[in-house]
Amino acid sequence: MTTSALTRMISRSLLAPTLIVALAILVKGYASVGDGFSAGVVAALGILLQMLAFGRDQVTADLPIHRAPLVAMTGLFIGFAVLAVPVLTGGAPLEHWPPPDEKPIYLGTVELITAVVFDIGVFLLVLGSCVKVIDALAGAAAEDDA
Amino acid sequence: MLIALPILILFPVAIALALMDGRRKPAGIIAIAALAFATAALGVLMAKVAIDGPQEVVAGGWSPDVGIRLRVDALGAIFALTTAAVLLASMAQAVAAGCASRTTPTLTVFMALGLTGLFLTGDVFSFYVFFELAMISAYGLTAGEGLAGGRFRAGFIFAVVNLIGSFLFLIAIGALYRATGTLEMIEVARRAAEINPNTAILLAVTFFVAFGVKLGLFPFHAWLPSVYLGVQPHIAAMFAGALANIGAYGLLRFGGVILPRELELGATAIIVLGGVSIVYGAIQAISRRETREVLAYSAIGHAGYVLVALGLGGPVGLTAAVVFSVANALNKTLLFLTSELRGKFMATAFLIGALSVAGVPPSAGFFGKASLFEAGIDAESIAALVLLFVGGALTFVYLFQIYQHDRWRPRAEGEYDRDNLITAGRPAQRTVGVIVALVVLVLGLWPQPLLAVADQAAAQIEQEAPR
């Protein structure tokens, strides 16, 4: 371990806020700046910070890093579901819900619409792939050191 | 609905396969099943297009001028069907031989998804997106299924050269959008007739180079032999039989439909480049000794024939380009799939492939060559006819040199089989080879469906192209 106690403490306490910020970016899209892609990148940066501060072995033990491919593919599958579900119910692919002139369901100030579901898929895909790439690079770096 | 069906099948299966270990049998069998289903769906779709005319569906249920269109006409349908069938055969043989990498089934299905999508889209930008999906899968396949010697070399050359091609294509799309203000193919074609001729010719050249790289035309061919030689034969079959169709289809779609006047303007240059491709590919092929090397250079030559047909133009020329592309895709698949297998059946299948490439009836290749000659006669171009004849004669030479140099000669230990590929093949591999050979034969005995669809495709190109 080459990092100091201070770095480790700050990194550890930054993880939760990073994920909260990612979530905020994810849900505040549409009306203002933000979307699933940038949210996924921010969340993955949170994981990267942990890797830098604690090393790959420690992070792999603490967090379910090995699930990254599953997360990515779940995200891709959600995206696909947004494409396919309307076709199965007799509409056009990617058809938007709710239809024009209909009020969406509100959760607080978050509108529950097709685009949000799609962006959650994008978020998971970006998060999963970025974490997997980070993990692979960290693994390669560890091999070089050994 | 029907038009979206192949995409709706391939997409979830590709996702699921990404999580499975492709070296095990179940993943391979799921991939084969999905590709078989998609091929069947595309067959039905092609029948529907042949009877009812072009089909389309607008994503999101938007009005057609706003939304992104999935649209298929005879041209897209025939290419999509051929491509899916080629990928099915290659995948089946990959599974029979045992996949080398855990990603092979998922990447093949993703490639099928990309290729199907690009043949079925009516939108220039989603064409690019599907195109990149197919290309990225192909880079992955090269790395995963490469042969020990040249794997990273092949993957690196392939990725770098084709990324430059993709980049040029993206630039051309951007410029096309700047010039016409729309990405919808039919509307682009209508407005392209009115843009500044200088801009249009620049656009046409950029598109030509982009697709020329994919097709492996002279002088953009440098990547092709090292890639085809650096991967397993069944992956080479996927590249030669399926991925190269992007180039032929792209030239027909962007040259024939969107920029037809520029195509006419450049006809002489196109025929000359095609001719150089034919002669260069054939002479290089003659100078090679190893079967797969000969086939790789022969692919460069055959890209030239598509170009000559396109340059001759007119309904007959466009029909010839379609028929030849389809026949050539099947021939190349058959030859690559059987090139390293030995035994009675495989030797026969390989011979059928060789005769088909040479254009001996009854085979699919005969009608490919015959329609090219017809186009030459129709255009009253003696130069083109001489070129086709010389090309055909050279083809005979290199195809039968394969027997002289590779098959009928006793070899010293390890000679000409650096990669240790030659085997008798497993029964499943042999079955796939025989089935593809039968398809080539049946198309030679009963070519009417292919010719009719090709005629229809050419007629639709002529009709959609603004004049």
Among B209, B206, B245, which Cα is nearest to B332's? Answer: B245
Under an 8 A CB cutoff, do A83 and B57 touch?
no
Question: Which pLDDT band, with edges at 50, 70 and 90, does B150 fall under?
Answer: low
Strands A110-112 and B55-58: unpaired
Q: What is the mean pLDDT of chain B?
A: 88
Between CA B183 and CA B64 the distance in angstroms is: 12
For residue B454, give how far its alpha carbon lies from the nearest alpha carbon of chain A (Å): 29
Rounded Cα distance between B467 and B459, Å, is 14
- In which residue are the tokens 């960290």 written? A138
Cβ burial of B380 (10 Å; 0-12, 13-18, 19+) is exposed
Q: CB–CB of B405/B289 below 8 Å?
A: yes
Which residues in A have their CB inside 8 Å of a CB on B?
A: 69-70, 73, 76-77, 80, 83-84, 86-87, 91-96
How many angstroms away from the CA of B155 is the closest CA of chain A?
19
Nearest to A77 among B15, B57, B62 (CB): B15
Residue B71 CA, distance from chain mean position:
20
What gap in Å lies between CA B313 and CA B381, rounded to an integer? 11
- Predicted confidence band at A139 (pLDDT cuts at 50, 70, 90)? confident
Distance separating alpha carbons of residues B274 and B264, to the nearest angstrom: 15
How far is it, in rounded angstroms, from Cα B403 to Cα B342?
13
The band of B380, judged by pLDDT with boundaries at 50, 70 and 90, is confident
Q: How confident is the model at residue B414 (pLDDT cuts 50, 70, 90)?
A: low
Residues of chain B contacting residue A77, judged by C-beta atoms under 8 Å apart: 12, 15
Band (pLDDT 50/70/90 cuts) for residue B439 is very high
Low-confidence winner among A28-42, B86-100, B323-337, B413-427 (lowest mean pLDDT): B413-427
Report the residue from A69, A83, A92 with minimal CB separation from B58: A92
For chain A, the domain total comes to 1
Q: Which residues of A touch B18 (CB under 8 A)?
A: 69, 73
**Rounded to a whole number, what is the distance in Å from the CA of B310 to chain A's nearest CA?**
35
Q: How much of chain B is helix, strand and coil, in % rounded to 5?
A: 75, 5, 20
d(CA B30, CA B255) in angstroms, rounded, equals: 38
Residue A145 has pLDDT above 90, yes or no: no
Q: How confident is the model at residue B217 (pLDDT cuts 50, 70, 90)?
A: confident
By the 8 A CB rule, do B203 and B260 touch?
Answer: no
| pLDDT average, residue stretch B413-438 | 78
Cα Rg of chain A (Å, integer):
18
Rounded CA-CA distance B358/B399 in Å is: 8
CA nearest to B358, candidates B403, B398, B416, B312: B398
pLDDT at A90 over 60: yes
Domain encompassing residue A43: 5-145
- Contact list, B62 vs chain A (CB under 8 Å): 92
Q: How far is B17 from chain A (nearest CA, A)?
A: 10
Q: Which amino acid is at B187?
A: E
Phi–psi pair at A15, nearest 5 degrees: -60, -50
Inter-residue contact B295 to B335 (CB < 8 Å): yes
Q: How far is B150 from chain A (nearest CA, A)?
A: 22
Q: What's the rounded Cα separation, in Å, for the pair B105 and B93?
A: 12
Helices (H), B287-411: 291-312, 314-338, 344-358, 364-378, 382-402
Q: What is the mean pLDDT of chain A?
A: 87
* Dihedral sign of CA atoms B393, B397, B403, B406 in order: negative
CA nearest to B289, candidates B150, B417, B421, B423: B417
- Residue B416 pLDDT > 60, yes or no? no
Which of A70, A80, A94 lies closest to B19 in CB terms?
A70
Query: Is A92's CB within 8 Å of B19's CB?
Result: no
Question: Mean pLDDT highest for which of A23-27, B164-168, B427-431?
Answer: B164-168
Contact between chains at B11 and A69 (C-beta distance less than 8 A): no
Instruction: State residue B361's pLDDT score.
Output: 84
- Continuous H helices in B145-239: 151-180, 185-192, 197-215, 223-230, 233-238
The predicted pLDDT at position B229 comes to 86
Q: Which residue of A has its CA nearest to B58?
A: A92
**How many pairs of residues across A and B have Cβ atoms under 8 Å apart?**
42
Q: What DSSP character marks residue B209?
A: H
Q: What would the pLDDT profile of B13-65 be if each residue is shown by its tens digit?
A: 999 999 888 888 889 999 999 999 999 999 999 999 999 888 888 877 777 77
pLDDT band at B86 (very low <50, low <70, confident <90, very high): very high
- Bin A18: left if φ > 0, else alpha if -120 < ψ < 50, else beta: alpha
What 3-state DSSP class applies to B274? Answer: helix
Cis geometry, peptide bond prior to residue B219 (ω within 30 degrees of 0): yes
Which of B15, B19, B59 comes nearest A93 by C-beta? B59
